[in-house]
């Protein structure tokens, strides 16, 4: 399948590393002009250099802004006033005893993981609808469906993001704009290898170590290995293309079979 996003402009929030960087790289490889977003100029510049090393000649726009707040959302809109593909990837997570999490922390998780996406959709959706074409993609998590006891506050925000996605898809009905969520499963991102080796024999080669980890600590996974960020990016690039024109309001899983359900 040939995916050509030439002439399209994308913004990927939180795209200086991990899944976000892989998505930005995938969109650039497909020909899109891509806004690379992070909170500091240094991190954004480094990410831009790394993506250009992967995709020579990539058309990249540095978007230095903390989009978790209103001012950051405004700065992003100034850097990229016209966006055809919005990928809300920014998110925070962490383990915590749910009985000790204070109100401010609950609010912070909701602000970063949910409201940041809502603000950007609210800002960019009218332009997409007016042009008769657009893609909004919200990166969710298996934790939206299988709420982890040690990350209830995180799981709650990802569940909310699924609801936000479905609602905005209904709002965009008939406009030529599609709105979807991507449910990412356990993924190999920064720090995960160290975490794995804390739990399994550190003398094992990586491929074997991660399989032991998945078998013993993430047995729900049918893939039985960690997902690579590029595998999640592949779904996002597809959904950003004309090939996915009939897919909207959905929660598409790239979870390695982690969620034990026929439908999300």
84 CB-near residues (< 8 Å, 6+ apart): 8, 9, 10, 32, 128, 131, 133, 134, 135
Alpha-carbon span 88 to 51, nearest angstrom: 19
Catalytic residues: 154
Residue 57: name the closest of 45, 48, 65 by CA.
48
Whole-number pLDDT of residue 198: 86
157 CB-near residues (< 8 Å, 6+ apart): 91, 109, 110, 112, 113, 114
The mean pLDDT value for 88-113 works out to 95
Alpha-carbon span 11 to 93, nearest angstrom: 22
The mean pLDDT value for 167-181 works out to 98
Note whether 121 and 149 are same-domain residues: yes
Note whether 69 and 144 are same-domain residues: yes
pLDDT at residue 229 tops 80: yes
Whole-number pLDDT of residue 199: 87
Average pLDDT across the chain, whole number: 95
The mean pLDDT value for 171-194 works out to 93
Note whether 117 and 140 are same-domain residues: yes
Note whether 144 and 221 are same-domain residues: no
Cα three-residue angle 188-14-186, rounded to 5 degrees: 25
**264 within domain boundaries:** no
Note whether 101 and 141 are same-domain residues: yes
pLDDT at residue 163 tops 90: yes
Q: What is the pTM of this model?
A: 0.94
The pairing of beta strand 134-141 with beta strand 177-184: parallel
Q: Which domain holds residue 198?
A: 190-226
The first and second tokens of residue 232, run together, are 């999640």
Note whether 109 and 155 are same-domain residues: yes
Note whether 56 and 100 are same-domain residues: yes
Note whether 55 and 120 are same-domain residues: yes
Strand partners, 85: 10, 135
Q: Lowest mean pLDDT: which of 37-46, 132-141, 203-212?
A: 203-212
C-alpha distances in angstroms, 158 versus 8, 182, 254?
A: 27, 11, 15
Alpha-carbon span 14 to 75, nearest angstrom: 14
The mean pLDDT value for 77-90 works out to 98
**180 within domain boundaries:** yes
The values of phi and psi at residue 99, to 5°, are -80, -10
Whole-number pLDDT of residue 264: 66
Note whether 153 and 243 are same-domain residues: yes
Report residue 13's pLDDT band, with 50, 70 and 90 as the boundaries. Answer: very high
Note whether 111 and 232 are same-domain residues: yes
Neighbours of 220 (CB within 10 A): 15
Query: Could you give the percent of the chain with pLDDT greater than 90?
Result: 89
Alpha-carbon span 33 to 225, nearest angstrom: 32
**212 within domain boundaries:** yes
Quote the number of domains for the chain.
2
Whole-number pLDDT of residue 95: 85
Alpha-carbon span 188 to 41, nearest angstrom: 25
H or E element: which one contains 201?
Answer: none
Whole-number pLDDT of residue 189: 85
Note whether 100 and 203 are same-domain residues: no
- Higher pLDDT: 9 or 213? It is 9
Note whether 77 and 138 are same-domain residues: yes
């Amino acid at each position: 399948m040939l995916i050509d996003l030439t002439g399209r402009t994308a913004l990927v929030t939180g795209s200086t590393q991990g899944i976000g960087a892989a998505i930005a790289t995938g969109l650039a490889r497909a020909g899109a002009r891509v806004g690379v977003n992070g909170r500091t100029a240094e991190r954004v510049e480094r990410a831009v250099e790394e993506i250009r090393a992967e995709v020579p000649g990539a058309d990249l726009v540095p978007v230095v802004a903390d989009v978790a707040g209103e001012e950051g959302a405004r700065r992003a809109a100034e850097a990229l006033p016209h966006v055809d593909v919005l990928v809300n990837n920014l998110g925070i997570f962490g383990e915590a005893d749910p009985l000790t999490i204070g109100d401010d922390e609950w609010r912070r998780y909701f602000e970063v993981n949910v409201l940041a996406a809502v603000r950007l959709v609210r800002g960019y959706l009218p332009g997409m609808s007016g042009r008769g074409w657009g893609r909004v993609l919200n990166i969710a998590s298996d934790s939206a469906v299988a709420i982890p006891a040690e990350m209830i506050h995180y799981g709650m925000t990802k569940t909310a993001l699924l609801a936000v996605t479905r609602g905005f898809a209904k709002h965009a009905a008939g406009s030529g704009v599609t709105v979807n969520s991507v449910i990412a499963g356990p993924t190999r991102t920064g720090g995960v290898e160290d975490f794995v080796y804390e739990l399994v024999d550190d003398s094992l080669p990586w491929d074997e170590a991660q399989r032991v980890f998945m078998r013993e600590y993430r047995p729900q996974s049918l893939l039985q290995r960690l997902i690579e960020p590029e595998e999640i990016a592949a779904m996002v690039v597809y959904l950003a293309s004309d090939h996915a024109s009939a897919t909207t309001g959905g929660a598409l899983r790239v979870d390695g079979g982690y969620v034990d359900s026929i439908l999300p």
